[in-house]
Structure 1
């Protein structure tokens, strides 16, 4: 993919330097309103959109009068707490005139590393997208420690793209792509239009962050590109400072595209299939037939559960005669699964004493 024309689900990363005016420490309202127009344009043709947005610390430090120097950790967390309210309100105000519902999702990098938390985040984001909302994802910088550091939102954008199965990630940057050297320092630097593979030679060309507000650099953008393309998601780096940067990208603005390896669904299924199962779930004929039609596995079709697995752990799915049908990520622990096997989804809360997911293994978390 080297354009947005065929994209079905897009993650757009927005850095602090684009959102916040450096001299005033306040929001660039005209830029954000133009971005909202871009989002509305994508939504109008049926594209799911997720925004991964920096800006809370930059906005908060302006409101608290902290200036532009280095901040102590507790000052960064305080600035994030103040700025996050302003950031969420700004997105809501800009998207609402287009009839778009904004949703705030605060995460840390650990939410993609821990499988149970990963499944919870994925389910929430999928539900928001199914209702047509635009999730605004940001790191929970008010409590995070190791996440408040160099380049995290580039990687977060790629991890969000993997989580939601996006086919395209757009990194809006202060440069118009990936160059052989820093174009501000080397007039002979050449921009790549397309990168097929991220080789050691490509990695050696990456530099560090150059903006006082932005923490990201080309090194982290390459890390993001590796994560995204490995999961079947194209990634593009393009200039974001001008108004309507997504429209500009569609109209041929300079950019560097990183070609994906396969498609998101196939990559995800390979990842699930490669895991060592922590347990086994046996199912009846009806459930087996439903799985072959691409349906999720509901507790009603489960006849037996073995293994002491946790939520998010991989399990093997066995047919009525013990034949292997595939594997998937369990949304319940082994103990919970044994309690609700053979039961209707509507009875789960009564049996467990708390609400649960309708599916034991969702079709998106299954490789059959």
Structure 2
């Protein structure tokens, strides 16, 4: 890997788009790109994750943000994406560098092979001196198959490219212990345990999809990969470099000193829950100590419909999340195997397979630094 530092910068819709006219804020974009050029000259590679396509595309299709449904947003993204990228490209060229667009979907990040393909593309662009701009492909995503917020998308990209820092530019100068508009609200300069602040706010801007809650979740994902997160005001001179050099107020979410392996990070930091398993107490005790193979006799219930290769959340019978691991079978196959333990997998499925539902090598046990997910309310409990 190059000796150059890598920084992922997330820019939200409220900074890029004029809320009243739904047009691009070119002065802001010039300020960011000038700062990026400065950082590149200083030996820092930058990857942007940029919102804005839906917001500026809404004016093209003549729909107000508060009235836009899913189809409107998909159409708006298709209209706004070329406008956004053209603006970025023209401004970047003024400052002596070029950009490339990388559109991703949830599957590109949750499927391991596609995740690695995306990583290879972004890495090669960086190596060739081109700045990648990553955004969710909102013209084709649906509510069920959507990352949903670019904060966590940016954290996923930071993990992917093994960034040194993740900078989230927003409309405030960091995290507060309550709504910053409330009297007595105190700025929080340093965060070590993100879970203490998860419920500090869930409000969102008129144009954005995430509030400070998603930024805390993103910061936790970055922490797990050894990436420091900086959250700060974007509408200022030198919006990124001033934060990196600690020249103005911000919130710093410190990185873990001993980050997980890239495989464990990919397994644990999910953007959407594919499904889950509830295991019996004997298996739960094993998982509280270390990874272990999960067999069909260990399963109490199956949650959701999922495919082979999906990463499942594993719970005890009280709903405590214990681990996450890649399934060797579909949800229907697991139910069939677990309900018919006297028959071999080949007899039940029609092909040869070991009866391990999840192998220990394809599992990561939940640690204190991970944010756990609640168990799904709907599940199929095994009988007999």
TM, length-normalised to structure 1: 0.68
Contact kept? 1:232, 1:260, Cα under 8 Å: yes
Q: What does 1:317-328 correspond to in 2, within 5 Å?
A: none
RMSD of equivalent CA atoms: 2.6
2:215 aligned with 1:221, yes or no? yes
Distance in 2 (alpha carbons) for counterparts of 1:208 and 1:150 = 17
1:202 maps to 2:191: no
1:119-138 correspondence runs (5 A):
119-138=116-135
Match for 2:224 among 230, 240, 243?
Answer: 230
TM-score, length of structure 2 as denominator length: 0.65
Q: How much has 1:263 moved relative to structure 2?
A: 6.4
What SS does the corresponding residue of 1:69 show, helix, strand or coil?
helix
Q: Does 1:257 align with 2:286?
A: no
Q: CA deviation at 1:25?
A: 1.1
Change (3 A) 1:271 1:239: closer
1:211 alignment counterpart:
205
CA distance in 2, matches of 1:97, 1:161: 27
Q: List runs of 5+ in structure 1 lacking aligned partners.
A: 1-5, 275-309, 314-368
**Residue of structure 2 aligned with 1:245, choices 239, 246, 260:** 239
Give the conservation status (yes or no) of the 8 Å contact 1:7–1:167.
no
- The size of the alignment, in residue pairs, is 269
SS at match of 2:46: strand
Q: What is the SS of the residue equivalent to 1:261?
A: coil
Cα distance 1:53–1:231, how it changes in 2: closer, same or farther (>3 A)?
A: same
State the match for 1:67 in structure 2. Answer: 64
How far did 1:165 drift? Answer: 0.7
Q: Any idea what SS the aligned residue of 1:57 has? A: helix
Please state whether the residue corresponding to 1:120 is helix, strand or coil. Answer: helix
Mapped contact 1:174–1:239 kept (Cα < 8 A): yes
Task: State which drifts further: 133-142 or 93-102.
Answer: 93-102
Pairing of 1:1-368 with structure 2 (within 5 A): 8-146=5-143, 152-184=149-181, 186-199=182-195, 201-204=196-199, 206-249=200-243, 250=245, 252-262=247-257, 267-268=261-262, 271=265
Tell me how far 1:99 sits from its aligned partner: 1.7
CA contact (8 A) 1:92 1:101 kept: yes
| Comparing 223-232 and 251-260, the one that deviates more | 251-260
* Structure 1 residue 63: Cα displacement: 2.1
Distance 2:266 2:70 in 1: 37
Q: Which runs of 4+ in 1 moved over 6 A?
A: 147-150
The equivalent of 2:303 in structure 1 is: none
